[in-house]
Homo-oligomer: A and B are copies of this chain.
């Protein structure tokens, strides 16, 4: 890897923006960025609602926040400055947007841009570094990894994933203890639906809840495999007959052999629309219709990716570390790179941060290796356990108030005075 290095920009401000779906630890990355920059005497602006804030010139002056508030970001879920789902078009299709960003950077003396997101964001940061050069504006663009989906290329894992993995493993374990208690007269099949539209990383993490044929989860349904109804029903039946009950963890992205999402195949809501999400209720109906078992299902949705109260310490530390490294790289004059996590040992788990070129990350997607899924398609392998186990280790510290709730911070988010005309009017 050969990230381009130039001499550090002498002075200026640093802009940090959050992108895409937020996580339990993306604010830990923000804390890493702001604390590292403060340590070097560099002012950090944050874009309100991600890249949209940069386009709209809606910037937040983080120097107005106390050190305690910034430190508290380290344990506060969600996106403290707002995020957005907004993908910039290609340079060809909407060069004006890129030029606007450079215009905003120029107006506020932004010399470093840190974009905290997934592969789309890596692409945006890469393009911005290119157009900056074309327009003669010296800007260093650093991508900062974030995604619960764990699908970024190059990096060994993505900050945000370890915590949703831990939440999922704990929830699978706890709900299974409940089901096991009640199975004699009540629920025999429990189905937990987890995020993962294209890759089964989160579903796979549920496998950490137990090991061996009789331990939950008894079946994991991955988006990587076409749903085989007969095999699914046979395994659920065999599990209930052997164990007395059965826990299924299903990725939201499970598809049938025709490639349709199971969650959308055939069900209609009260208004005649196709079913509004939920592969779990579809599977539950199938189990009831074909096997007659009493079931329950759960769909934690946003609860899983915002559950800072069950965050992984490894994940929280990595999230902070990539933020700090991004500032180090930027101030050292690097451009178009991302700090990635490199695993140097499985047991004991060791990792370090290294820069990797955005060109190798932008718009790519890391699939789960085929050898992570067991032969019958319903479980994880020893290789998957070796990879996943370290990522959920440790309990990230979290202060609670006397009221019994976590002490999450709410920033002041003081706006920076605008200097430009509104964009696109």
Q: Is A179 an interface residue (CB 8 A)?
A: yes
Name, among A182, A285, A308, the residue most crowded by chain B CB atoms within 10 Å (CB to CB).
A182
The answer to whether A296 touches B285, judged by C-beta atoms less than 8 angstroms apart, is no
Please name all residues of chain B whose beta carbon is closer than 8 Å to the beta carbon of A314 when the two chains form the complex.
Answer: 404
| Chain A count of residues within 8 A CB distance of the other chain | 85
Beyond A178-B302, A267-B269, is A184–B52 a contact (Cβ under 8 Å)? yes
A164 shortest CB reach to chain B, Å: 12
Q: How many of these chains are in the complex?
A: 2
Q: Does A387 contact B (CB under 8 A)?
A: no
Cβ proximity bits A283-319 to B, threshold 8 Å, 1 near / 0 not: 0111011000000111111110111111011100000
Chain B residues near A78 (CB-CB < 8 A) = 174, 177-178, 180-181
- Residues of chain B within 8 A of A397, CB atoms compared: none
Q: Are A271 and B300 in contact (CB under 8 A)?
A: no
Which one of B52, B285, B395 contacts A400 once the chains associate, using CB atoms below 8 Å?
B395
Q: Identify the stretch in A35-43, A274-282, A364-372 within 8 Å (CB) of chain B at 4 or more residues.
A: A274-282
Distance of A377 Cα from B22 Cα, bound (Å) = 32
A310 vs B174: C-alpha distance in the bound complex, in angstroms? 11
State whether the Cβ of A266 lies closer than 8 Å to any Cβ in chain B: yes
Of A8-16, A127-135, A165-173, A232-240, the one contacting chain B is A165-173
CB atoms of A166 and B404 under 8 A apart: yes
Contact assessment for B312 and A22 in the assembled complex, using a CB-CB cutoff below 8 Å: no
Is the C-beta of A49 less than 8 angstroms from some C-beta in chain B?
yes
Q: What separation, in Å, do the CA atoms of A24 and B307 have in the docked complex?
A: 18
Q: Is A137 an interface residue (CB 8 A)?
A: no
Specify the chain B residue showing the minimal Cβ separation from A307.
B174
**Closest residue of chain B to A285, judged by CB?**
B269
CB A214 to nearest CB in B, in angstroms, measures 11
A185 within 8 A of B: yes
CB neighbours of A21 from chain B (8 A): 182
Query: Which residues from chain A sit less than 8 Å from chain B, CB to CB?
Result: 18, 21-22, 24, 49, 52, 76-80, 82-86, 166, 169-171, 173-175, 177-182, 184-187, 190, 192, 208-209, 265-271, 273, 275-278, 281-282, 284-286, 288-289, 296-303, 305-310, 312-314, 389, 392-395, 400, 402-406, 408
